[in-house]
Amino acid sequence: MTVGALITLAAILLALVLFATEALSVDLVAMLIMALLVVSGVISPEQGVQGFSNPATITVAFMFVLSAALLKTGALQSVAHQLSAVFRRNYRLGIVLMMLLIALISAFINNTPVVAVFIPVVVQIAYASGQAPSKMLIPLSYASIMGGMCTLIGTSTNILVSGIAEQHGLPAFGMFQLSAVGLPMLAAGMLFMLLIGIRILPDRKTRDDLKEQFGLRDYLTELELMPGTELDGQRIMDSNLVKELEMDIIEVMRQGQRFTLPPGDFSLQAGDLLKVRCDVHKVKALKERVKVVDDNTLRVGDNFLGEKNTSLVELVVTAGSAFSNHTLKSLDFRRTYRAIPLAIRHRNEVLHDHLYSVPLVPGDVILAEVKQHYISTLKQMEVAQDAPFVVLSEDSLSDFNRGQFMLVMGVIGFVLITASLGFLPIMVGTIVGVLALVLARCLSMKEVYDAINWKIVFLLAGALSLGQAMGNTGLDQLLAGGLTGWLGPLGPVAVVSGLYLATSLLTELMSNNATAALLAPIAIVAAEQLGVSPTPLLMAVTIAASASFMTPIGYQTNTMVYSAGGYRFKDFFRTGAGLNLLFWVLASLLIPLVFPF
């Protein structure tokens, strides 16, 4: 083994330790490895930065932008809220539909923002349907992973391995080439979760923990039932709206008569003014629900919730504030600050006054709806020396823009069709698509830059340098020789199976992209040594690198639901070990069958 090969092997081992321990961020580790390989002379400076111009890196960057454009239309948020009624009727049917929906979306756009959008909705649905979030969030993450395995653009890992294949003079993956294996594995994975997985998942209702972790804060607000409301004549216990948003009705005002803490069989009527206790996410969910169904029969704190391009902000009254001992009415809050108050958290007291009549004290939190263009003005007020409030949080509300949705779907369709038919390389298609969205004013250039996950871009660019170093030093030949020498006598199917298993185990400990960048070159060289097509071996690496189910650190969506569901490390292992084993067996059988040697 040459000195260069030893340096490269040391760099790989160092990367493995740093990735697994998470001592440093993955993008920083990738850049450090690239710098080490360049400084040591294993690769040239040009080869070191070549990853930034790799078609795979550029394609992944622009796919992030297309995903952000779709999220901006509000379409996913609207669809997510439609699942609530299904879960209330049939939990298992809800799980199936949720997993199908998430898998379908994740097959075409980046799954990380998809899961981010669905987490708060699924938590809300869980409580409304009497289920624990821990029974629903792991299936959410797993469905996004399995959906991403079905198309070229489903995950950055798929695009990365396709790019590595092109670097070695092999044809790029087709848009739906992975589907022949990915779809049967998706079906098997869903069946596993439905029959076994949801039985293994913990029933851990962590409502209090979630409130602490996600900063959910109790507010007092008012709902006025307008003529024509679906709640007219309904008992509180029968109201889907009350159950879905988990509101505590503190008081009902009816024609001057006050009903405090009404019982569940209390019948609501149009014209009732309900005093309810809820949190910021429920107020947001109510706003989104009203917009989705175009409902003008509810009013929250003098607001019909029909405003467009708004954000929810929480304003904390500061010590010595001009707000102290004043009411919202005396402050002329709505006109002065161009904000519509929706609710007030007034320490721990249950208030029996109108929102505009509550004397404010330091520490009170005002939940208000503000036009997005005015938020910068509020933030300027916040930094002033005599600031009356501090902006605690800002939560943008996405309106469903049908026109923009159709435009974005047209662009995504253009990318899919041109790449599938070979009219344009997928890199060119994504660039053209993003430019079209910017020219159509669907996105600004600032939004383009903000949408790109630069951490992934730097990780990909740095990880690709490892493959280059292995090629320069012949280390890929040595490692591939060890693989084929051990498993080769058993036949190429055994090599595919062994490569899948090695990739699957490695990706549980480190980044899936880094694992793919490390093992894809070895797969190509191993195929050359065996004299077989490299496609089955590359497919094994591609699918296994994304199929991370056993640990919360193996895939970013697992990490996202880890805290949200109140999970423990062992919960992922108990559920994911069986799924990993099932996928290993299926991949060992399907890949050689679909992609002959």
* Domains and their CATH numbers in the chain: 217-300 (3.30.70.1450), 310-396 (3.30.70.1450)
Residues 6+ apart with CB under 8 A from 202: 132, 134, 135, 567, 568, 571
∠566-567-571 over CA atoms, to 5°? 160
| Range from 21-30, 66-75, 288-297, 338-347 carrying the lowest mean pLDDT | 288-297
SS3 per residue for 241-274: HHHHCCCEEEEEEECCEEEECCCCCCECCCCCEE
- 312 forms bridges with which residues in the sheet? 369, 395
Mean pLDDT of 233-261: 79
Q: What is the dihedral of CA 571, 106, 64, 152, to 10 degrees?
A: 110
> Which DSSP category does 196 fall into?
I
Query: Cα 117–123–125 angle (5° rounding)?
Result: 100
Residue pair 138/565 in contact (Cβ under 8 Å)? The answer is: yes
User: For residue 69, which of 421, 415, 372 has the smallest C-alpha distance?
Assistant: 415
Lowest mean pLDDT among 213-217, 262-266, 474-478: 213-217
By the 10 Å C-beta count (0-12 exposed, 13-18 middle, 19+ buried), 126 is classed as: buried
Degrees (nearest 5) of the Cα angle 327, 330, 332? 105
Q: What is the pLDDT of residues 548-593, one digit of tens each?
A: 898 877 777 887 787 667 788 888 899 999 999 999 999 999 999 9
Instruction: Report how far residue 13's alpha carbon sits from residue 5's, in angstroms, rounded to the nearest whole number.
Output: 12
Give the percent of the chain with pLDDT over 90: 27
Position 293 scores a pLDDT of 38
- d(CA 50, CA 33) in angstroms, rounded, equals 14
Query: Residue 178 has what pLDDT?
Result: 93
The C-alpha angle 372, 375, 378, rounded to 5 degrees, equals 160
User: Does the structure show a pLDDT above 50 at 144?
Assistant: yes
User: What would the pLDDT profile of 172-189 be if each residue is shown by its tens digit?
Assistant: 899 999 999 999 999 999
Determine the Cα–Cα distance for residues 594 and 597; give it in Å rounded to an integer. 10
Which among 310, 304, 284, 283 has a CA at the least distance from the CA of 371? 310
Rounded to 5 degrees, φ, ψ at 246 are 50, 50
pLDDT of residue 374: 78
In this prediction the pTM is 0.68
Q: Given the structure tokens 């679909």, which residue do they identify?
A: 594
- Which range (208-217, 367-376, 512-521) has the least confidence? 208-217
Q: Is 255 left (phi over 0), alpha (psi -120 to 50) or beta?
A: left
Give the confidence band of 304 by pLDDT, cuts at 50, 70, 90. very low
**Which pLDDT belongs to residue 568?**
82
Contacts of 446 (CB under 8 A, 6+ apart): none
For residue 227, give both structure tokens: 């003529």
Query: With 60 as the cut, is the pLDDT of residue 380 above it?
Result: yes
* Residue showing tokens 């170093």: 469
Backbone angles phi, psi at 267, to 5 degrees: -90, 130
* Max Cα-Cα span within the chain: 90
List the one residue out of 585, 583, 547 whose CA is nearest residue 185: 583
pLDDT (0 to 100) of residue 325: 83
Q: How confident is the model at residue 354 (pLDDT cuts 50, 70, 90)?
A: low
Nearest CA to 389 out of 361, 370, 410 is that of 361
Per DSSP, what are the bridge partners of residue 393? 314
8 Å CB contact between 180 and 594? yes
- Give the DSSP per-residue string, 510-565: S-HHHHHHHHHHHHHHHHHHHTS-SHHHHHHHHHHHH---S-TTSSHHHHHHHHHT
Q: In angstroms, what CA-CA distances link 455 with 72, 296, 512? A: 21, 43, 14
CA 175 to chain centre: 22
Beta bridge partners of 311: 370, 396
DSSP-derived 3-state class of residue 219: strand
Question: And the tokens for 575?
Answer: 């559920």
**CA–CA dist 157, 176 (Å, integer):** 15
pLDDT for 192 equals 95
Q: What is the 3-state secondary structure (H, E, C) of 71-116?
A: HHCCHHHHHHHHHHHHHHHCHHHHHHHHHHHHHHHHCCCCHHHHHH
Q: For residues 154 and 539, give the distance between their C-alpha atoms in angstroms, rounded to a whole number.
A: 14
Q: Report pLDDT digits (tens) over 104-122.
A: 989 988 777 778 777 767 7
Mean pLDDT of the chain: 81
